[in-house]
């Protein structure tokens, strides 16, 4: 038994020594962020198709600076509500031309200056559907990007609209032309740049360990001021419990979007080292009413094509109570299809509350009533029976779906809740094979994306909702003018009246961050965008070893 005892003793000593060495390497200026998905391709214009994942964008935002960023209100219309980044100012020349002047202090991490040529080169790639079909689609209204000298870039748009500056600054961050010009898409995919990108942002690439983490280091020469946090490690743990355990065990300092149930938030909130920070999220959950017959989408839905039935269902739901039960204070019932991140929801009216009397009245008007006294609503001998599809992977929608089923049962409507694996759920949704679909949407900060799901010809309008008045309001609002906010609000009011869906919840994402970090700001459009401005001021920072 001597040998096993010696081996065990050596192993324990080795483990202890390694742990001590790792702890010694953790200074107050290091942050370990734990997230759910890897970022295999965090390079602008390569994050396309299946790589258009949030994880890639969030790492890319640390490496590559945009021309400008969204302001505190996240307003995307007009030219003013943006903060300078690579561009120190911009000037409107006419209704379709904006000139950006680059900050002369901006450099690439290899020391080369950021020039107008870099911006032109990147937008040429980004606007080429063969290279970047996704980005080319969102930039379709940019007609030309040209350089005027080394420091000025001129954007010309195909017609006047409200989000020209947003289009120029939000979707693409410039790439270094001096390193990449002349490389084909395939050459770029195989180039060392992919494994060792050179950016202009506050952090530079250090290394990546497949399936485990990415390490970044502060860019000492960042022209807006070097970050106080010198070392950033982004760890990946797909399982939410594993992420929470890493935070509670002190192996991680920050975590994005703590998932439900609420017990997770309580568990983290009970830790005195952890601060919970709610942030407006881009997501929205809603019960989408199919207006076409799922068995034959050329025909109207036998029940839900009637707007009074849809309104009755909305009125029968106590959405505020359901949302509070499932998401606590970390979500609200939205007015219209507006997630918390969208600026057009800031002054929206309150959503409708539960009104069973009015709901029954509306149904009776459509011929639906309890004719046989069995407590369930029927018409011509047929009970009002609907199916509700939802993805089994969403805990929130599963819980809310059951509450919806119960509340509609009280109205006398039978709802059959059908849970599907996400790919199956999505396939059925796209094909229109549902009565009510518990949809979840994730949106950019721009309201222009609403047209995708709620206009007559919208590519994502799977329920075939169509109201030409709404389309007209969308079109006028996106064109801009003095009353843009009013036009968006009018569109929302019209949608609420049509009730193509019962808009259930617009959640806040809750971030968990160690208290030793101060000046903590989480940006809704990209979680760690402001990380370079964070500081260390907590008690543990003072105790820790410096680095």
Partner 1 sequence: MGRWLAGRILQALVTLVIALVLLFVLMRLAPGDPLAGLSEDRPLSPAEVASVRALYRLDQPITTQLAAFVSHLARGDLETSIQYGRPVSALLAERLPATLLLGGTVLLLNFTIGIWLGARQAVRRGGAGDELLTTLSLAGYATPSFWLGLVLVWLIGVRWRLLPAAGMHDPLLDPGAGFLARAGDVLRHLVLPALTLSVVSIAGTMRHQRSAMLEALRLPYIVTARAKGLSEAAVTWRHAWRNAFFPVLTLFGLWLPVLVTGAVFVESVFAWPGLGSLAFQAVGYRDYPLLMGASLLVAVLVVLGSLLTDLAYAVLDPRVRLS
Length of the chain: 547
CA atoms within 13 A on the CB side of 267: 16
> Site map for partner 1, 403-432, x if CB under 8 A?
------------------xxxxxxx--x--
Question: Which residue do the tokens 């019932």 mark?
Answer: 333
CB of 538 closer than 8 Å to CB of 358: no
Q: How many residues of this chain interact with partner 1, rule: CB under 8 A?
A: 64
Which of 148, 187, 212, 372 is the binder for partner 1 (CB under 8 A)? 212
Measured at the CA of 411, the angle between CA 407 and CA 412, to 5 degrees, comes to 115
Q: Residue 207 or 346: which CB sits closer to partner 1?
A: 207
Stretch that binds partner 1, among 84-92, 112-120, 161-169, 247-255 (CB under 8 A): 247-255
Q: Residue 159 or 422: which CB sits closer to partner 1?
A: 422
Minimum distance from CB of 294 to partner 1 (Å)? 15
CB of 124 closer than 8 Å to CB of 145: yes
Q: Residue 241 or 497: which CB sits closer to partner 1?
A: 241
Which of 460, 480, 538, 544 is the binder for partner 1 (CB under 8 A)? 460
- Establish whether the linkage from the previous residue to 232 is cis, with ω within 30° of 0: no
CB of 90 closer than 8 Å to CB of 101: yes
In the range 14-73, which residues lie near partner 1 by CB under 8 A? 14-15, 17-19, 21-23, 25-26, 30, 32, 38, 40-41, 48-54
Question: Which residue do the tokens 């485990």 mark?
Answer: 212
Structure tokens at 256: 């994005």
Stretch that binds partner 1, among 97-105, 209-217, 378-386, 524-532 (CB under 8 A): 209-217
Q: Residue 426 or 533: which CB sits closer to partner 1?
A: 426
| Alpha-carbon gap, residue 430 to 424, rounded angstroms | 10
Q: Residue 47 or 317: which CB sits closer to partner 1?
A: 47
In the range 174-193, which residues lie near partner 1 by CB under 8 A? none
Q: Over the range 250-286, which residues count as b (16 or more CB within 10 Å of their CB) and which as e?
A: eebbbbbbbbbebebbebbeebebbbbebbbbbbbbb
Residue 129 makes contact with partner 1 by CB under 8 A: yes
| Alpha-carbon gap, residue 435 to 288, rounded angstroms | 8
Cα 45 to chain centroid distance, Å, stands at: 19
Per CB under 8 A, residues contacting partner 1 are: 11, 14-15, 17-19, 21-23, 25-26, 30, 32, 38, 40-41, 48-54, 129, 133-134, 137, 207, 209-213, 215, 233, 235-239, 241-243, 245-246, 248-251, 393, 421-427, 430, 440-442, 452, 459-460
């Amino acid at each position: 038994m001597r040998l096993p005892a010696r081996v065990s003793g050596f192993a324990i000593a080795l483990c202890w020594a390694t742990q001590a060495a790792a702890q010694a390497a953790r200074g107050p200026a290091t942050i370990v962020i734990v997230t759910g998905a890897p970022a295999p391709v965090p390079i602008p214009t390569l994050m396309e198709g299946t790589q258009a994942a949030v994880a890639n964008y969030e790492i890319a935002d640390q490496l590559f600076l945009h021309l400008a960023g969204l302001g505190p209100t996240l307003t995307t219309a007009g030219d003013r509500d943006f903060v300078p980044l690579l561009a120190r100012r911009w000037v409107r020349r006419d209704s379709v031309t904006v000139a950006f002047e680059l900050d002369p202090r901006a450099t690439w991490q290899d020391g080369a200056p950021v020039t107008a040529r870099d911006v032109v080169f990147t937008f040429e790639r980004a606007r080429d559907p063969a290279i970047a079909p996704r980005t080319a689609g969102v930039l379709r209204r940019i007609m030309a990007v040209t350089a005027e000298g080394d420091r000025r870039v001129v954007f010309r748009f195909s017609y006047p609209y409200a989000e020209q500056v947003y289009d120029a600054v939000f979707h693409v961050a410039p790439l270094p032309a001096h390193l990449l010009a002349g490389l084909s898409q395939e050459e770029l995919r195989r180039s060392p740049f992919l494994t060792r990108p050179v950016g202009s942002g506050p952090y530079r690439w250090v290394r990546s360990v497949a399936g485990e983490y990415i390490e970044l280091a502060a860019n000492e020469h960042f022209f807006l001021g070097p970050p106080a946090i010198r070392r950033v490690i982004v760890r990946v743990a797909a399982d939410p419990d594993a992420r929470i355990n890493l935070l509670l065990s002190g192996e991680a300092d920050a975590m994005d979007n703590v998932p439900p149930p609420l017990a997770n938030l309580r568990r983290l909130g009970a830790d005195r080292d952890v601060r919970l920070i709610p942030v407006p999220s881009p997501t929205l959950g809603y019960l989408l009413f199919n207006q076409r017959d799922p068995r034959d989408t050329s025909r109207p839905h036998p029940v839900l094509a009637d707007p009074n039935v849809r309104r009755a269902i909305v009125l029968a739901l106590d959405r505020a109570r359901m949302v509070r039960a499932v998401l606590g204070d970390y979500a609200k019932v939205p007015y219209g299809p507006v997630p918390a991140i969208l600026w057009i929801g800031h002054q929206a009216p309150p959503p409708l509350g539960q009104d069973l009397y009015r709901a029954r009245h509306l149904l009776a008007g459509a011929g639906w009533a309890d004719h046989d006294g069995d407590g369930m609503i029927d018409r011509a001998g047929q009970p009002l029976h609907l199916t509700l599809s939802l993805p089994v992977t969403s805990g929130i929608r599963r819980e809310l779906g059951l509450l919806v089923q119960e509340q509609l049962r009280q109205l006398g409507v039978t709802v059959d809740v059908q849970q599907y694996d996400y790919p199956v759920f999505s396939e059925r949704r796209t094909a229109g094979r549902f009565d009510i679909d518990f949809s979840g949407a994730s949106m950019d900060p721009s309201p222009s994306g609403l047209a995708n799901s709620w206009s007559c010809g919208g590519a994502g309008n799977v329920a075939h909702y169509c109201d030409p008045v709404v389309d007209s309001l969308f079109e006028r609002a996106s064109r801009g003018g003095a009353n843009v906010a009013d036009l968006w609000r009018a569109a929302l009011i019209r949608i609420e009246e049509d009730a193509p869906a019962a808009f259930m919840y617009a959640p806040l994402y809750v971030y968990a961050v160690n208290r030793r970090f101060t000046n903590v700001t989480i940006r809704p459009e990209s979680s760690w965008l402001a990380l370079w401005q964070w500081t260390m001021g907590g008690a543990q920072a003072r105790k820790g070893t410096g680095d």
